[in-house]
Amino acid sequence: MYISEQWAYALPSREGVPPEAIRAMVEEWDRRNLGVHSMMLLRHDRVIAESWWAPYRRDEPHMLNSLTKSFTSTAIGFAVQDGLLTVEDPVVSFFPEKAALPDEHMKEMRVKHLLTMSTGHEPANADFIFHYADPVQAFLESEVAKTPGSRFVYNTGATYMLSAIISRVTGKSALDYLQEKLFDPLDIHGITWEHCPQGNALGGVGLSMKTDDIAKLGLFLLHEGNWRGRQLLNAEWVRTATAKHISNDASTQTPWLDSADEESGAESTAAPTDWNQGYGYQFWRCVPKHVYRGDGAFGQYCIVMPDQNAVMAITSGCSDMQAVLNVIWNTLLPAMSDSPLPDDPAAQEALEQTLASRRIAPPVPQAVPGTLPGTRYQMAENGAGIAEIEFAFGDRRDTLIFRTANGEFCVPAGHGEWAVQHLNVQTPRTFPFRPDTPYGDIACAGAWTAANVYELKMVCTRSAYVRTLRFTFVGGRLTLEYDQNVACAPEGITLHGFLR
């Protein structure tokens, strides 16, 4: 077992958790193909289980998607503690030069409305500001249809405004401010946060850090702003930020969906899910009593279980985020005991073997090509920007070269194992390297799944994304079909080429 110097470790049974319950949870995630690819479970401040699904690695940062929002909320907490603002301050008061003629509802909007996603915007107007060169100006000039505070509408633009306010009151980006206030004390380093052209961290998205760092946030919250004996953030702020402030009624697949229940402020009449238990200051309340979380698209989780004195950090590439949580609530949570359990060496060994053997399966060979196809294919004009693809098939490893107007990209692919390649794409959109692929490593594996079909699987190990490229060779012609495990919009691309 790998032991990090940053953590204290303990056998789960000694912290009141049967190892077979953790094993059942992990195996159920995999049995249901939920796409979890890292997990850390802490109880009583000790790590009792952890795993990374190869080729994902402990030492590589991961995109948090909207889990970023919980960090932005925490930055606001520090700014309140420093006396730089209050949650009752009008939003327009921070940018008087950009708010010459705000509408009446905009004048009523307070920082607390940004925090609780209750700005009064319609869903269609929640994130549009990112299409403008000056998102702050666009937000302040936007139409606010409802009275702020009247209903929940998921709004990444509101979180961006929190980040812009941090920049305005501190003179630093949210990243630099949190580095001083939170990240350095928690020994969180090597993180990145995407910024807008004005230099503001995006606020609602764009933060990348390691799974260990997510777990540190969870432990910091569990102890209400205290980190190993040092009170960094006022405990009352943490309690307030993670409490329910507004009712919501959102589905698992579309957490930005609003309904009549939201507009009236009534309790949701929908079936209980972890997306209709109420919303705090950029934190979600959960179905189990007192449990709360920060979360990001496709299953990036920081889960805090105060009654159990436990924290779980998860990264994944999952289209059914509710299912990941249900497995925890149904398998792990009921098994937790308030007292230590007898050691069970056999169950512990089985758990450790399970945790050590997690991996994303490479493509499985199902055929051999009768005759290896030609090596270079000219691609028909396409929006993906690929001019040519060259193949070099080997006994243990294959190599694919994608040539575009933006450069040449060489991709090694292992046979039955992952070949890792450092990715450094400087151009905005080059297929199959997309703008949602951060710099870092990709891991690829390939196999012949039919006599004329070669499948390449590409794991973008700093994100949720696993991409599959299927190349079909017929009579000197090539068809390339592309899909992705998860996406915010429909995916699927088909390209055509011919042998040069």
What is the arithmetic mean of pLDDT over 210-237?
Answer: 98
Of all helices (H) and strands (E), which one includes residue 315?
Answer: strand 310-316
Q: State yes or no: pLDDT of 456 exceeds 60.
A: yes
- Which of 432, 422, 444, 435 minimizes the C-alpha distance to 495? 432
492 has pLDDT over 80: no
Percent of the residues in the chain that have a pLDDT greater than 70, as a whole number: 90
DSSP β-bridge partners for residue 444: 419, 458
Where residue 270 falls among pLDDT bands split at 50, 70, 90? low
Q: What is the rounded average pLDDT for all residues in the chain? A: 90
Instruction: Specify the higher pLDDT residue, 6 or 373.
Output: 6
Give the Cα separation of 119 and 17 in Å (integer): 42
Beta-bridge partner residues of 468: 457, 483
> Which token pair is 381?
């004009």
Cis omega (within 30 of 0) on the bond before 432? yes
- Strand, helix or coil for residue 48: strand
Q: What is the CA radius of gyration of the chain?
A: 24
The predicted model gives 236-265 an average pLDDT of 67
Q: How confident is the model at residue 101 (pLDDT cuts 50, 70, 90)?
A: confident
Q: What is the pLDDT of residues 473-483, one digit of tens each?
A: 998 999 999 99
| Span 288-330, pLDDT tens digits | 999 999 999 999 999 999 999 999 999 999 999 999 999 999 9
Q: Which amino acid is at 490?
A: P
Mean pLDDT of 191-205: 92
Query: What's the average model confidence in pLDDT over 413-436?
Result: 67
Confidence check: pLDDT of 432 > 60: no
Please check the confidence at residue 427 and state whether its pLDDT lies above 60: no
Taking residue 295's Cβ as centre, other Cβ atoms within 10 Å add up to: 26
pTM score > 0.85 for this model?
yes
pLDDT attached to residue 306: 98
Percent of the chain with pLDDT over 90: 78
Predicted confidence (pLDDT) at residue 404 exceeds the cutoff of 90: no
Mean pLDDT for the stretch of residues 387-413 = 91
CA distances from 426 to 24, 460, 471 (A): 42, 16, 26
Structure tokens at 229: 């004996």
Helices 211-222 & 68-81, crossing angle to 10 degrees? 40
pLDDT given for residue 369 in this prediction: 86
331 vs 297: CA distance, rounded Å: 23
Rounded Cα gap, residues 474 and 374, in angstroms = 11
| pLDDT for 260 | 40
Average pLDDT for 172-183: 98
Pick from 137-151, 342-356, 384-398, 417-431: least confident: 417-431
pLDDT, mean of residues 26-38: 97
Task: Assign 430 a pLDDT band (cuts: 50, 70, 90).
Answer: very low
**What is the model's pLDDT at position 129?**
83
Instruction: Extract the tokens encoding 23.
Output: 């094993």
Name the packing angle between helices 156-170 and 68-81 (round to 10°). Answer: 40
pLDDT over threshold 80, residue 258: no
- pLDDT tens sequence across 354-364: 999 999 999 99
Contact 336, 16 (CB under 8 A): yes
